[in-house]
Amino acid sequence: MPERLVVIGGDAAGMTAASQARRRRGPDDLEIVAFERGRFTSYSACGIPYWVSDTVKTREELIARTPEVFRSTFAIDVRTRSEVVGLDLARRCVRVRALAEDREYDERFDSLVIATGSVPMRPPVPGIDAAGVYGVQTLEDGVELRAEFDSGRVHRVVVVGGGYIGLEIAEAARIREVDVAVVDLAATPIGTFDPDIGRFVADAVRGLGIDLVLSDGVAEVLVTDGRASGVRTASGR
């Protein structure tokens, strides 16, 4: 029986590990199974704001390799919509929930790679989990956010966080001709930059017609009829 490598996570790190393992060992010697909670593999998460803005025209342009390519070309058993919910080291198996079928099963492994990435931090404020509040981490997030813009009901956007992704989403909203405000605790955007550089960035962002609310945090997401309708900052704005 060939050895089995299980990979948890189907984006850049996980599928790179799976592909490199396949280059070293053939399918008769090593079985490779990769589990991905979402529907997509090997995509450019950094490109999501540019797809939302329609600068990138299609979702497929963000995908380097589809699950079908990994299966047919690399002999990697990619299982999308499959969330690993448990790990048993003694039995050397993972517990998998097949989301589309709502069932769970065990899958054995000889070697295991965990490449799940991180969970974005949301400020612990009331209303943060209401409908109409979106993150931008996975391509699934991009699908939901773009659909929201395409609905025609979005007229104003508040972006919480003035880092790279926050400013890219704010710019995408302006390209979509939507009013947008960015709220950030820091005195200047992109806190990894020195303040003098941050001030140049702030001027450029304001030049795009984006309202910058700086040195102020989000205290509450206002909710109307179960849906986010505004943001109240710590200063009362």
Task: Write out 156-167 in H/E/C secondary structure.
Answer: EEEEECCCHHHH
Distance CA 180, CA 211 (A): 6
Distance between CA atoms of 175 and 20, rounded to whole angstroms?
A: 39
Distance in angstroms (rounded) separating the CA atoms of residues 183 and 215: 8
Dump pLDDT digits (tens) for 28-45: 999 999 999 999 999 999
The type of residue at 124 is: P
- Which residues face 43 on adjacent strands? 63
For 42-91, what is each residue's pLDDT tens digit? 999 999 999 999 999 999 999 999 999 999 999 999 999 999 999 999 99
Q: What is the pTM of this model?
A: 0.85
Q: Annotated catalytic residue: which of 46, 131, 204, 208?
A: 46
Mean pLDDT per 10-residue segment, the chain (237 residues): 96 96 96 97 94 93 96 98 97 97 96 91 90 92 93 93 95 95 95 94 96 96 94 95
Is 46 catalytic? The answer is yes
